[in-house]
Structure 1
């Protein structure tokens, strides 16, 4: 029997945690989205790199700039970077209203979790969830896993 390298075990654990994060929201509708959360200790450059990558992938799924995005007000580096990235892709961003059935508003929640030297990031809408692990450096962040995509309905 061959010994399994520690690195493989860590990658498997990170993938398992990512699956758990992605499976946490199974209800369709804005009430089912998880509460947005990002640790304040993620640096501005890392937050910008992660938000930029995740929003570009979100745009591939919902179309660039075709909706108004509703996010919770957040002063963390990631919250600010996410709002800037959304606006950079042409989305109108609102933080202070309930979704209105008459308007094309997409509720967006996010979770950013440090885990074993990496950061796991997740964006959730009622129809799409994206997740990815990142390696964070002083100058930014780079993807450390493939993109995980879950589409509903």
Structure 2
């Protein structure tokens, strides 16, 4: 390989790397922003409910039930409504992400849902824990396709 071709390929690789990093954006805390909740999957009510209940169960092992207030960006998506209902059903107080808390601090919670033809990828994030799992939509709701991934952080 000639020197000029090698330099060209190296420059091309560097520009590809720089271009991919240019799209990265640092949020307020470097990794988490409670206003980033997004449901891009447009789930049915049954699927959204099944997934929300399945994700809130392990979340309750990491956030104190009954004493924690969760700040959730409420939106009209099926998953947003199902997550709100599931959190309340587990004993959490749920407020809007921009609402002021009277006593104590609220735990900001964000979620993202993306899907393709074969699976639905769900991620729920708080400052101290992040849960992720993939699902497949079924007639009666959803079935998990993977074990749940749990990442804990100390702040």
TM-score for both structures, normalised by structure 2: 0.73
1:127–1:26 Cα change, 3 Å: farther
Give, in whole Å, the separation in 1 of the partners of 2:82 and 2:129: 20
Determine if contact 1:30/1:126 at 8 Å carries over to the other structure: no
Structure 1 portions without partners, runs of 5+: 1-23
User: What residue number does 2:73 align with?
Assistant: 72
**CA 1:54–1:129: 2 relative to 1, 3 Å:** same
Equivalent-residue separation in structure 2 for 1:128 and 1:32 (angstroms): 11
Moved over 2 A (4+): 24-34, 63-66, 96-102
The range that moved more, 62-71 or 30-39, is 30-39
C-alpha distance in 1, partners of 2:25/2:153?
11
Pairing 1:114-125 to 2, within 5 Å after superposition: 114-125=115-126
Q: Which residue of 2 aligns with 1:61?
A: 62
CA RMSD of aligned residues (A): 2.8
Q: Structure 1 pair 102/26, CA: closer, same or farther in 2 (3 Å)?
A: farther
Stretches of structure 2 that go unaligned for 5 or more consecutive residues are 1-23
| Bigger CA radius of gyration | 2
Higher relative contact order (CA 8 A, sep 6+): 1
Q: Is the 8 A contact 1:135 1:143 kept in 2?
A: yes
Q: Distance between the aligned counterparts of 2:139 and 2:54, measured in 1?
A: 17
Correspondence list, 1:1-153, <5 A: 29=29, 32-33=32-33, 35-39=36-40, 41-95=42-96, 97-98=98-99, 103-153=104-154
Count of residues in correspondence between the two structures: 130
Q: Which stretch of structure 1 is more off in the superposition, 25-34 or 67-76?
A: 25-34
**Correspondence for 2:8:** none
In the superposition, the TM-score normalised over structure 1's length comes to 0.74
